[in-house]
Each structure stands twice: as C-alpha cells, then as structure tokens.
Amino acid sequence: MAYTCPHCGAPSISAIAKWLSGNVRFANCAACGGFSHVRSTTARQCSAAGLATGAVGVLAFALGGLHPAWLWTALGAALGVYLLAWHLVALEPDDEGGWKLGRDWLFSLLGLGLLGVWWWGRWG
C-alpha cells in the first residue's frame, strides 16, 4: 500500500511512513525528495475516532455480560476504524511547518487495550 506524494504525485509514500508522518517525522518522497505529513489535528481525529469506537465497544462488553468476544470485537473495531481513518486522510506538503503530537492518543488506545486485558483476566 502506497500513498501519493502531494508534491509530485508519485505513489511513493508507504503506509508506515504516512502513519509516522503524523506522529514522529515527515515522510520523504523517494521520487522527488519532497517532505509531507499528515496534519497533527487530522492525526488526532483518527485517534479520537478509534478511541470513540473502542469506548462504545467496551461499553457493549460491560453490558453484554463481560463476554470476551465483545472485548475482542471492541478492540478489533477500534483498531479497524483507526487504521481506516489513517488510510483515508490526506498527506499534505510540509510547508505548513510545525510538528505534531499524536502519540498521547496512541498511548491512550494502548492503555484502553491493557485495561481490557486486565479486566478480562480479573473476571475470566
């Protein structure tokens, strides 16, 4: 899976480079050398979408008699929505400048997963 460079239009940005560009560093186009990134506000929206889905899923897990299947469905749905959101958002040229921090949201998602595992271990 490759994404289009906003500078030259070449499909040169890998999925992982796109994801990193919203969290860690700019993506670098192999064809033209241009830098691009996913805007930090956009990256946060991806995380928020995943977290919201996970929250609904955990609620369903709690209300659904704590059956593990609900938990895995919740985590799977959260991850799926998160990745889909990342797939859909646009890369932008780096002329906006500025760095981005989506990592706090990523850790929140991880925390949610760990909470779920702990919860399952407690009741399972």
Q: Which is nearer to Zn ion, 26 or 82 (CB)?
A: 26
Short-list 59, 66, 72, CA closest to 123: 66
Q: What is the dihedral of CA 19, 20, 23, 26, to 10 degrees?
A: -120
Tell me which DSSP letter residue 22 carries: T
Q: Is there binding between residue 32 and Zn ion (CB under 5 A)?
A: yes
Near Zn ion by CB under 5 A: residue from 17, 27, 29, 71 = 29
How many Å apart are CA 29 and CA 123, to the nearest integer? 49
Give me the least distance between CB of 12 and Zn ion, in Å please.
6
Q: Is there binding between residue 31 and Zn ion (CB under 5 A)?
A: yes
Q: Please answer whether residues 8 and 34 qualify as being in contact, where contact means their C-beta atoms are separated by less than 8 angstroms.
A: yes
Q: For Zn ion, how many residues bind (rule: CB under 5 A)?
A: 8
Q: Is there binding between residue 5 and Zn ion (CB under 5 A)?
A: yes
Tell me which DSSP letter residue 96 carries: G
Q: Pick the piece of the chain touching Zn ion (CB under 5 A) from 19-27, 30-38, 57-65, 111-119.
A: 30-38
How many Å apart are CA 30 and CA 89, to the nearest integer? 20
Q: Is there binding between residue 34 and Zn ion (CB under 5 A)?
A: yes
Q: Which is nearer to Zn ion, 8 or 110 (CB)?
A: 8
Q: Is there binding between residue 7 and Zn ion (CB under 5 A)?
A: yes
Q: Is there binding between residue 102 and Zn ion (CB under 5 A)?
A: no
The SS3 assignment for 122 reads: helix
List residues binding Zn ion (CB under 5 A): 5, 7-8, 10, 29, 31-32, 34
